[in-house]
């Protein structure tokens, strides 16, 4: 039932219902950008939300609300200009980054061949990152104490025999032990990542470095 | 007869274009009744607000987009504002906050009506999305990134729609039947998702169920609803 690298339906429902955090919503929306079948599922889920909204018992709205709206729309500017997406990134991410390109971001070195940009920090230590790893790099073996979503934007990596390439998403949680992603040789691998709690790195060197690299 | 004429025009090719008005009828193929077309030509619909009961919500949005028609907008307001506010009140916000957010949703409809394409989305789905995102933005103070700018799939064309009013009533009946067809456990997780915006782990805490059980119930409920609402797009 589980399809490799594709987010399960319960996440589509949570996205549609508005239950996801900013970081998870961005990862799911960007993931859906790569897969038309997921976009259709999302529309189905949002249609369900809309029908549920419509079937709510109507409540009274204040008698002056419509007039208030009319007086406000008279003062509105005519056109809301949408910026164009010109940096080649999937739309949700491009918009989230205010249409900056990846090169324009403030990348921080984390170690040999590894750099990161932190995009958002939310409640419960939730963090949204862009990670960039050189082709062939090995990410230190680690455990998770929370949920981690990794969406590949460019390049690819392996975990065991599973390969993750552009548009594919890996979900790791408490059950995931000895997580040792291996970046495939070739171009840099760039991923959009959400972590919920600091990961636990096994090696002594890794543990010593962890506070400095911020993972 | 009239419908056949419009169909014939469509079949004759999209190049047929006698000014913007004709293109409009073609764009909204199948959505547009002849009387609506005529009224648009004359611009006379403003004078007969009672005529709106014949039009689907999607047709009314087109009138707002094309003509900035305030009667059509009022009609949409009367239907949607009390339901949007009712949906927002689920999230335990004050009546005033729900009023403010509802007002913002309706203003967004006025502003962006011309971005709405009835071929790609239902207006209630579009408004649901706006209401959901406004709540998250203004109350939770987080962004909620969307897949596409306005409607989700640029290339997907919905099947031709006819007799919109009847269809809307049927859709309402169908979601109620589809929800009723779920078992209590499945209905519970769908309601906690859509009416409380609870995450999987929050639902697990609320229901005292293992996380895996919550996820599989949501999956099964979603699958059942999709099957029930299958050709509904």
- Whether A201 is covered by a domain: the verdict is yes
Q: HEC states along B153-195?
A: CCCCCCCCCCCHHHHHHHHHHHHHHHHHHCCHHHHHHHHHHHH
Residue B149: its pLDDT value, please? 62
Burial A138-161 (b: 16+ CB within 10 A, else e): ebbebebebbbbbbbbebbbebee
The lowest-confidence range among A26-30, A192-196, B44-48 is: B44-48
Look at strands A189-195 and A148-154 and give their pairing.
antiparallel
| 3 state DSSP class of A9 | helix
Which pLDDT band, with edges at 50, 70 and 90, does A27 fall under?
very high
Nearest CA in chain B to A72: B107
Nearest CA in chain B to A44: B226
- Whether A202 is covered by a domain: the verdict is yes
Contacts of B106 in chain A (CB under 8 A): 69
Residue B6: its pLDDT value, please? 40
Residue in A43, A68, A82 nearest the CB of B103: A68
Output the six-digit token pair for A56.
Answer: 């709510």
**For chain A, how many structural domains are there in total?**
1
pTM: 0.82
Which residues form the domain of A192?
100-213
Contacts of A73 in chain B (CB under 8 A): 107, 110-111
Q: To the nearest whole angstrom, how far is the Cα of A51 from the nearest Cα of chain B?
A: 6
- Whether A172 is covered by a domain: the verdict is yes
Residue B11: its pLDDT value, please? 39
- Whether A37 is covered by a domain: the verdict is no
- Whether A192 is covered by a domain: the verdict is yes
CA distance A156 to A168: 9
Q: How far is CA A122 from the centre of its chain?
A: 13
CA distance B191 to B193: 5
The answer to whether the beta carbons of residues B38 and B61 sit under 8 Å apart is no
Q: Quick check: B127 pLDDT over 60?
A: yes
The answer to whether the beta carbons of residues A172 and A150 sit under 8 Å apart is yes
The answer to whether the beta carbons of residues B172 and B226 sit under 8 Å apart is no
Average pLDDT estimate for A157-182: 86
Nearest CA in chain B to A121: B142
Residue B195: its pLDDT value, please? 94
Q: How far is CA A154 from the centre of its chain?
A: 14
Q: Tens digit of pLDDT for each residue in B148-194? A: 765 444 333 333 344 555 566 666 777 778 888 899 999 999 999 99
Name every residue whose Cβ is closer than 8 Å to that of residue B200 and which is 6 or more positions away in sequence: A10, A14, A19, B211, B214, B215, B218
Contacts of A40 in chain B (CB under 8 A): 153, 156
| Strands, E assignment, A70-210 | 108-111, 114-121, 127-133, 142-143, 148-154, 157-159, 162-164, 169-172, 182-183, 189-195, 200-201
Q: Quick check: B224 pLDDT over 60?
A: yes
Residue in B77, B85, B152 nearest the CB of A66: B77
CATH number of the domain within which A184 lies? 2.60.120.10
Residue B178: its pLDDT value, please? 86
Which pLDDT band, with edges at 50, 70 and 90, does B50 fall under?
low
More confident residue, B8 or B57: B57
Burial B110-143 (b: 16+ CB within 10 A, else e): bebbeebbbbbbbbbbbbbbbbbbbbbeebbebb
CA distance A119 to A189: 18
Q: Tens digit of pLDDT for each residue in A50-108? A: 999 998 999 999 999 999 999 998 877 765 555 565 678 999 999 999 999 999 999 99
Residue in A19, A59, A93 nearest the CB of B86: A59
Q: What are the beta bridge partners of residue B211?
A: none
Query: Which helix H or strand E contains B134, and what residues bound it?
Result: helix B123-135
Average pLDDT estimate for B184-213: 95
Mutate to test the interface with A, among B110, B128, B148 (most CBs of A within 10 A): B128
The answer to whether the beta carbons of residues A29 and A15 sit under 8 Å apart is yes
Q: Quick check: B15 pLDDT over 80?
A: no
Rounded to the nearest integer, the mean pLDDT of chain A is: 86
More confident residue, A210 or A70: A70
Burial class (CB in 10 A: 0-12, 13-18, 19+), A106: exposed
- Whether A71 is covered by a domain: the verdict is no
- Whether A3 is covered by a domain: the verdict is no
Residue B158: its pLDDT value, please? 39
Average pLDDT estimate for B210-228: 95
Contacts of B146 in chain A (CB under 8 A): 29, 92
Residue in A39, A73, A122 nearest the CB of B110: A73
Q: To the nearest whole angstrom, how far is the Cα of B29 from the nearest Cα of chain A?
A: 22
Q: Do B175 and A65 touch (CB under 8 A)?
A: no
CA distance B49 to B71: 6
- Whether A62 is covered by a domain: the verdict is no
Q: Tens digit of pLDDT for each residue in A101-147? A: 999 999 998 878 889 999 999 987 899 999 999 998 877 776 667 88
Domains of chain B: 48-161 (1.10.1740.10), 165-228 (1.10.10.10)
Q: To the nearest whole angstrom, how far is the Cα of B1 from the nearest Cα of chain A?
A: 33
Nearest CA in chain A to B193: A17
Q: What is the DSSP string of B76-127?
A: HHHHHHHHHHHHHHTT---HHHHHHHHHHHHHHHHHHGGG--TTT--HHHHH
The DSSP 8-state label assigned to residue A109 in this structure reads E
CA distance B108 to B86: 18
Average pLDDT estimate for A141-155: 85
ipTM of the complex: 0.88
Contacts of A146 in chain B (CB under 8 A): none
The lowest-confidence range among A18-22, A173-177, B61-65, B87-91 is: A173-177
Residue B51: its pLDDT value, please? 67
Q: To the nearest whole angstrom, how far is the Cα of A33 from the nearest Cα of chain B?
A: 6
């Amino acid at each position: 039932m589980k399809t490799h690298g594709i987010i399960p339906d319960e996440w589509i429902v949570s996205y549609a219902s508005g239950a996801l955090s900013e970081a998870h919503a961005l990862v799911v929306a960007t993931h859906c950008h790569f897969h038309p079948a997921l976009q259709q599922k999302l529309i189905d889920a949002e249609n369900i939300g809309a029908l549920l909204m419509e079937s709510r018992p109507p409540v009274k709205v204040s008698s002056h609300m419509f007039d208030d709206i009319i007086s406000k729309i008279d003062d509105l500017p005519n056109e809301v200009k949408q910026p164009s997406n010109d940096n080649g990134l999937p739309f949700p991410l491009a918009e989230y980054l205010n249409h900056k390109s990846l090169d324009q971001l403030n990348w921080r070195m984390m170690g040999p061949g590894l750099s990161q940009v932190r995009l958002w920090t939310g409640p419960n230590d939730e963090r949204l990152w862009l990670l960039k790893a050189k082709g062939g790099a090995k990410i230190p073996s680690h455990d998770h104490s929370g949920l981690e979503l990794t969406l590949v934007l460019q390049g690819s990596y392996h975990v065991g025999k599973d390969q993750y390439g552009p548009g594919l998403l890996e979900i790791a949680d408490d059950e995931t032990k000895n997580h040792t992603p291996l970046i495939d040789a070739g171009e840099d691998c760039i991923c959009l990542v959400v972590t919920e709690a600091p990961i636990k790195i096994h090696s002594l060197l890794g543990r010593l470095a962890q506070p400095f690299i911020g993972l | 007869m009239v419908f056949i004429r419009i169909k014939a025009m469509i079949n004759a090719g999209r190049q047929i274009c006698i000014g913007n008005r004709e293109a409009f009828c073609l764009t909204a193929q199948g959505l547009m009744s002849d009387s609506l077309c005529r009224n648009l030509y004359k611009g006379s619909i403003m004078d007969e607000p009672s005529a709106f009961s014949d039009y689907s919500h999607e047709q009314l949005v087109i009138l707002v987009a094309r003509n900035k028609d305030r009667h059509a907008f009022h009609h949409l307001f009367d239907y949607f504002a009390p339901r949007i506010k009712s949906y927002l009140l689920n999230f335990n916000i004050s009546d005033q906050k729900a009023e403010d957010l509802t007002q913002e949703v309706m203003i967004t409809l006025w502003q962006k009506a011309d971005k709405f394409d009835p071929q790609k989305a239902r207006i209630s789905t579009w408004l649901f999305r706006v209401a959901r995102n406004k709540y998250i933005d203004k109350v939770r103070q987080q962004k909620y990134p969307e897949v596409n700018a306005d409607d989700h799939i640029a290339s997907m064309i919905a099947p031709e729609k006819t007799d919109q009013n009847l269809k809307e009533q049927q859709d309402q009946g169908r979601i109620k039947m589809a929800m009723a067809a779920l078992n209590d456990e499945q209905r519970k997780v769908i309601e906690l998702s859509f009416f409380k915006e609870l995450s999987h782990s929050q639902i697990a805490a609320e229901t005292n169920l293992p996380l895996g059980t919550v996820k599989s119930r949501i999956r099964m409920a979603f699958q059942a609803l999709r099957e029930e609402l299958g050709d509904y797009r």
